[in-house]
Amino acid sequence: MLVFYPLAFSGICHGELTALRAFEADAQLLTVSVDSLFSHRAWADQEGFSFPLLSDFWPHGQVARAYGVFDEAKGCALRGTFILDGEGVIRWSVVNPAGQARDVADYIKALADIS
């Protein structure tokens, strides 16, 4: 599960990443934002996140652009989630604006449908 989020230390992102802990047993969770490695380390330590928080800091937003979820005007990713299979094929995705949280129930259904 590849999860793009706008910025660390923000309210909606905190809530989403905290909720995503529940899926670590069902899927490999990778999260991505344009924050630096140092910001990610501080946030992971503060929140107790054990899954990888990946930096798309430089080249700025390149990975988010590759997945079509980079907001050029704001300089950060939208809330894009991609569930990939073992071969790297996208099996399910959802993209929400930066200010709109994703529905955890959608993840549960998507993972059940793919399994």
14, 22, 46, 64, 103 from 80: Cα distances, Å: 15, 18, 24, 9, 12
Distance CA 1, CA 21 (A): 12
User: Do 76 and 5 meet the contact criterion of CB atoms below 8 Å apart?
Assistant: no
Q: Which of 13, 29, 69, 77 is catalytic?
A: 13
76 annotated active-site? no
């980079």: which residue's tokens? 70
Q: Which residues are catalytic?
A: 13
